[in-house]
Amino acid sequence: MTEAIQLEQVTKIYKGKKAVDSLTMTIEKGSVTALLGPNGAGKTTTVSMILGLHQPTSGRVRLLGGDPRETRIRDRIGAMLQDVSVIDNLKVHETINLFRHYYEKPLALEQLLRISGLEEEKNKMATALSGGQQRRLGFALAAAGDPEVLFLDEPTVGMDVTSRQLFWDTIRAMAGKGRTIVLTTHYLEEADSVADRIVVINNGQLIADGTPSEIKSETAGRVISFTAGASVTSEALAAMPGVTDIQWSGRKVRLFSGNTDRLIAALIEKRLDMRDIEIQSGGLEDAFQALVQQTTSK
Ligand SMILES: Nc1ncnc2c1ncn2[C@@H]1O[C@H](COP(=O)(O)OP(=O)(O)OP(=O)(O)O)[C@@H](O)[C@H]1O
């Protein structure tokens, strides 16, 4: 079996509203998959159903070929969720050891302290850790059982630059050992650098699925930026052929279009007052914005 996770027509309805809408996807073993989407897109709900914490309203979820609620499956997964709740009156190393004892073949305490960057904090009370340190403790606990599948829900929120670096280096090393990683993040540059697959969700539905370069190529070369003179208006720009979005920052304009060649020809023909014209190839951020916009305005 090469699939770690299978979702078949999975729907979750909360109070009459679809949080996840007929989602079908397969995640291969050994892959690093980033689930991206705007706030409320359904990412956390999807992860909760894969983990068996919430039941789908309809559809089927398989994790490592079984039901996520089975103990034999749970023993093989680790999850770092958004809320890390630490136990009162336990030190960092005691908390990690407590979790290690849940598993048959846990990672060594020293290794867990090292990969979470908590060696110096090991004798501190867990409740005395800063927000970013508590996230790192959450990671140590998620990794305690040396999981085959690791879920990371916005893992680097609150972490400083050095911690983030250590964190992603560790994740890359785990992926290198064939572990399956599923993460959600709003930091697109992180998804771009660590994930081999990006799945974009909006309104509970899958709207894009591919490698970071495939997702980026959907909007590559689709941004024209320039400094606009006082006579240039949004109305005039919106009337140009193929313009899908206009972003202003002071007098700097970014124009999105499916056909930048035609657009630039039209801008020049109209003799609009423009300086410092550039055609930019879209990054993941641009691709993401364009994808979300296309599916939100439908
Ligand atoms: N327990 C709940 N009860 C009612 N509605 C919920 C519940 N959990 C989530 N929702 C709703 O389901 C939708 C999807 O939420 P979800 O938390 O999965 O989104 P998300 O993509 O993880 O968002 P974020 O990026 O903000 O974390 C939202 O409209 C949210 O309000």
219 lines ligand 1 (CB under 6 A): no
The residue count for the chain: 298
Amino acid making up residue 145: G
Q: In what order do the strands lie in the sheet with 205-210?
A: 77-80, 149-153, 180-184, 32-36, 197-202, 205-210
Pocket probe mutation, ligand 1, options 14, 15, 82, 187, max atoms within 8 Å of Cβ = 14
Residue 228 buriedness (CB in 10 A; 0-12 / 13-18 / 19+) = buried
Query: Does pLDDT of 131 surpass 70?
Result: yes
Predicted local confidence at residue 213, as pLDDT: 86
43 lines ligand 1 (CB under 6 A): yes
Question: Cα dist. 102→25, 80, 98, 257 in Å?
Answer: 30, 16, 7, 54
The closest residue, in CA terms, to atom 25 on ligand 1 is 39
Predicted local confidence at residue 1, as pLDDT: 62
- Domains contained in the chain, CATH given: 3-209 (3.40.50.300), 221-280 (3.30.70)
Pocket probe mutation, ligand 1, options 23, 43, 81, max atoms within 8 Å of Cβ = 43
Q: What is the mean pLDDT of the chain?
A: 91
Query: Does pLDDT of 298 surpass 60?
Result: no
Q: What number is the average pLDDT over the span 7-32?
A: 96
Report whether 56 contacts 21 (CB < 8 A): no
The closest residue, in CA terms, to atom 5 on ligand 1 is 14
The closest residue, in CA terms, to atom 16 on ligand 1 is 42
182 lines ligand 1 (CB under 6 A): no
Predicted local confidence at residue 219, as pLDDT: 64
Residue range 21-50, pLDDT digits in tens: 999 999 999 999 999 999 999 999 999 999
Residue range 179-216, pLDDT digits in tens: 999 999 988 889 999 999 999 999 999 999 999 888 88
Quote the CA–CA distance of 192 and 178 in Å, as a whole number: 19
Quote the CA–CA distance of 118 and 2 in Å, as a whole number: 34
SS3 state of residue 291: helix
The closest residue, in CA terms, to atom 18 on ligand 1 is 42
Query: Does pLDDT of 57 surpass 70?
Result: yes
Q: Given CA atoms 48, 98, 117, 172 in this order, what sign does their dihedral have?
A: negative
**Residue 252: other Cβ atoms inside 10 A:** 12
Q: Of the candidates 271, 201, 147, which has an alpha carbon nearest to the alpha carbon of residue 22?
A: 201
Predicted local confidence at residue 237, as pLDDT: 95
23 lines ligand 1 (CB under 6 A): no
Q: What is the DSSP string of 50-99?
A: HTTSS--SEEEEEETTB-TTSHHHHTTEEEE-S---PPTT-BHHHHHHHH
Residue 62: phi and psi, rounded to 5, are -125, 135
39 lines ligand 1 (CB under 6 A): yes
Residue range 235-281, pLDDT digits in tens: 999 999 988 889 999 999 999 887 888 899 999 999 999 999 988 77
Predicted local confidence at residue 284, as pLDDT: 82
Residue range 109-127, pLDDT digits in tens: 999 999 999 999 999 999 9
Query: Does pLDDT of 138 surpass 70?
Result: yes
275 lines ligand 1 (CB under 6 A): no
Predicted local confidence at residue 158, as pLDDT: 84
Predicted local confidence at residue 220, as pLDDT: 63
Ligand 1 midpoint to CA 210 (Å): 24
